[in-house]
Chain A
Amino acid sequence: MNQEAKPIIRIESILKNYGAIEALKSISFNIYQGEFLTLLGPSGCGKTTLLRVIAGFEIPNSGLVEIDGNNMEGIPANQRPTNMVFQSYAVFPHMTVGENVAYGLKARKADKQTISEEVNKALAMVGMQGFNDRPSTALSGGQRQRVALARALILKPKVLLLDEPLSALDKRLREQMQSELRQLQRSVGITFILVTHDQEEALTMSDRIAVMFDGKIAQLASPQELYRRPTNIQVANFVGTMNFLDLDLVALEGNDLIVEIEGLGKTTLSMDQAPLGYQSNSMAGIRPEMFTIITNKSQSKTKVVKGRIVETQYFGDMTYFDAKLEGTDKVVTISMRNSDISFEINIGNNVEIGWNPNSILVLS
């Protein structure tokens, strides 16, 4: 990430209420030039509202939005250096593809020659050259998406805002558009802000992800960081799957936490494994792939517990097992590559489960 010192967008203490409902609760963060940033969260978390505040469609009750060093207060959407791709694409149905793409440039009073060249360039950029005279009602979902992109990018915005642009597409097309969008963003070098509720989409496309819950940013980090070191239970649950086990603090020795974990027993953790420190309601979190069902004695894991398989789910490359840990009612989820499994594991089998204290996170 080419993170320059100066942010392209600075957001400071943004507050937005709808009557008694607080949609955004004092949000502050920076977005840097050329970054692909994703606002990720469940519906109603305020991510779309935040995007619309940046675009100028919603006026915050208080707080500051600065784009490229300019305060956006009082500047309407049509004068901001941002452009948006809408969830419904909003490709104007009464215009052709070419007229749609030219719509913004015409407002800038550019001459016909320039407009026509720019429109062709923009259409080529999204792989739709030659579509100029097609009626926009005759386009497929994916094509509309591209027209909406071309229409926004032709204005060379400082920031492109994308409001759940892929949610209306089917799975295969969505995956294709994900990689195309990422490539497009790299080649034009424009800052992209994407809103989505799909964690997989966020993880594959973004430079950084802001996970939002309930009008607040819970964590802002790179995809790797977010997956490996979520800072709280909510984030860990939303991004990927995580097992949570009860945790009792036995002793605190310097930088070491000596804890008793439900079903796994007593172990020593480093203070680094508790991103926000230990609290009385903290739990031990461990990703399914950090457990291993030992099928080969040579596999070395520092710790082993016994369990019984109660459920299996087969996914082709992977299998997910639910196992009840010995001596408890606790069921944990374990994921294994099928290529790593050397004998059949069925419901009711008693197995040995390997795990490593390093892979435990203390979260609350």
Chain B
Amino acid sequence: MAKTKQSRYLVVYIGIFLVFLYAPALLLPIFSFNDSTIVAFPLSGFTLAWFIEVFKTEPLLTAALNSLLVAVITSVFATIFGIFAARASTRYQFPGKRGIMGLIMVPMVLPEIIIGVSLLVVILQLGFNLSLTTIILGHILLCLPFCTAILSAGFQGLDKSFEEASQDLGRSRLETFWYITLPLVMPAIISSLLISFTISLDEFIIAFFLSGTEATLPVYIWGQLRFPTRIPIILALGTVLLLVSLTLLIIAEYFRRIGARKTGTEVKGGLF
């Protein structure tokens, strides 16, 4: 396309936009290495103290472990449920399909506060205590539509004749699922696990409503943001989280590409 005046304006806009987009993310490492408890310019010097502090703060580590536990369990269950839902929606016709799939996908467009509040009401009415378990229940609900969407794409990309060929060659439905279907949709399963893990790890509102005495990492961070002296530690933690997430994301993309190659579809589009 010819470089017109419009396209030059566009490039200038993109430059300004990227500054806006990256402003917070760039401040994160700057202030996590800044040798001052006051998060403001001018910078006072370089330190690794905040990172060391991150790994020495007991409640932070406990909260991180809680979050990890919640995220792992959430991602496993959301992905298993997602496999059921995706398989049913891509391979079968059944009565009430639209309504049922609609209900499963609703949390995607529901404000998280509504999910949090409605679960809170029911859990308290039934007399259960708030705990990590209640957070997990909420997070599975929240992640289910994302997992279902990713896995549906995976199952849809799988040529039906692979499964038919396996049955035609004498294998039962169960063997076919195990030897053919699972290996071929494995990349989608891994993506689903990683996405739901990431969503759960970062989710605050539902966790805030449904947490009891044990905090997840975002709930812990929320509590710490009130104390100005704790801020640099939290920012150092944010830097660590950014690096961990990016690593996971790159792994997810790697598997997606392998998957696309396996099912013979063209590798296109972005990371999602």
Point out residues on A near B: beta carbons under 8 Å.
Answer: 55, 57, 76-79, 82-84, 86-88, 90, 92-94, 103-104, 107-108, 137, 148, 151-152, 155
The answer to whether B98 has its CB under 8 Å from any CB of chain A is no
Please tell me if the beta carbons of A83 and B169 are within 8 angstroms of each other in the complex.
yes
Which B residues, 145 to 171, have Cβ-Cβ distances below 8 Å to chain A? 159, 161-162, 164-171
- A sample of 14 cross-chain residue pairs with beta-carbon separation below 8 angstroms, ordered by A number, consists of A55-B168, A57-B167, A76-B167, A78-B171, A79-B170, A84-B164, A84-B168, A90-B164, A92-B162, A93-B264, A94-B184, A107-B175, A137-B262, A155-B169
Which of A55, A57, A78, A137 is packed against the most chain B CB atoms within 10 Å?
A78
Please tell me if the beta carbons of A84 and B165 are within 8 angstroms of each other in the complex.
yes
CB-defined contacts of A79 to chain B, threshold 8 Å: 170
Cα-based distance from A107 to B174 in the complex (angstroms): 12
CB-defined contacts of B166 to chain A, threshold 8 Å: 92, 103
> Pick the contact of B262 from A84, A88, A94 — CB < 8 Å?
A94
Overall SS of chain B's interface = helix
Please tell me if the beta carbons of B170 and A155 are within 8 angstroms of each other in the complex.
yes
Residue of B nearest to A151 (CB): B169
A-B pairs, top 6 by smallest CB distance, nearest first, are A104-B169, A90-B165, A90-B161, A107-B170, A86-B161, A78-B167
For the complex formed, measure the closest distance between the CB of B272 and the CB atoms of chain A, giving whole angstroms.
23
Residue of A nearest to B165 (CB): A90
Please tell me if the beta carbons of B167 and A93 are within 8 angstroms of each other in the complex.
no
A sample of 4 more A-B contacts (CB under 8 A), given A84-B168, A104-B170, is: A88-B161, A107-B171, A137-B261, A152-B168
Cα-based distance from A51 to B244 in the complex (angstroms): 53
Cα-based distance from A92 to B169 in the complex (angstroms): 12
Which of B161, B164, B168 is packed against the most chain A CB atoms within 10 Å?
B168
For the complex formed, measure the closest distance between the CB of B37 and the CB atoms of chain A, giving whole angstroms.
54
CB-defined contacts of B159 to chain A, threshold 8 Å: 88, 90
For the complex formed, measure the closest distance between the CB of A187 and the CB atoms of chain B, giving whole angstroms.
22
> Pick the contact of B180 from A87, A92, A108, A152 — CB < 8 Å?
A92
CB-defined contacts of A155 to chain B, threshold 8 Å: 169-170
CB-defined contacts of B102 to chain A, threshold 8 Å: none
Cα-based distance from A108 to B175 in the complex (angstroms): 13
For the complex formed, measure the closest distance between the CB of A329 and the CB atoms of chain B, giving whole angstroms.
50
CB-defined contacts of B263 to chain A, threshold 8 Å: 93
Cα-based distance from A104 to B170 in the complex (angstroms): 6
CB-defined contacts of B179 to chain A, threshold 8 Å: 103
Please tell me if the beta carbons of A107 and B169 are within 8 angstroms of each other in the complex.
yes
Which B residues, 163 to 191, have Cβ-Cβ distances below 8 Å to chain A? 164-172, 175, 179-180, 183-184
Please tell me if the beta carbons of A152 and B262 are within 8 angstroms of each other in the complex.
no
Residue of A nearest to B186 (CB): A94
For the complex formed, measure the closest distance between the CB of B261 and the CB atoms of chain A, giving whole angstroms.
7
For the complex formed, measure the closest distance between the CB of A57 and the CB atoms of chain B, giving whole angstroms.
6
CB-defined contacts of B261 to chain A, threshold 8 Å: 137
Cα-based distance from A93 to B262 in the complex (angstroms): 6
Which B residues, 217 to 272, have Cβ-Cβ distances below 8 Å to chain A? 261-264
Residue of A nearest to B261 (CB): A137
> Pick the contact of B167 from A77, A92, A151 — CB < 8 Å?
A77
Cα-based distance from A94 to B185 in the complex (angstroms): 11
Which of B159, B169, B171 is packed against the most chain A CB atoms within 10 Å?
B169
Once A94-B183, A94-B262 are accepted as A-B contacts, the answer to whether A78 and B165 lie under 8 Å apart by CB is no
For the complex formed, measure the closest distance between the CB of A195 and the CB atoms of chain B, giving whole angstroms.
14
For the complex formed, measure the closest distance between the CB of B85 and the CB atoms of chain A, giving whole angstroms.
24
Cα-based distance from A78 to B173 in the complex (angstroms): 9
Cα-based distance from A86 to B167 in the complex (angstroms): 12
Please tell me if the beta carbons of A77 and B264 are within 8 angstroms of each other in the complex.
no
CB-defined contacts of B184 to chain A, threshold 8 Å: 93-94
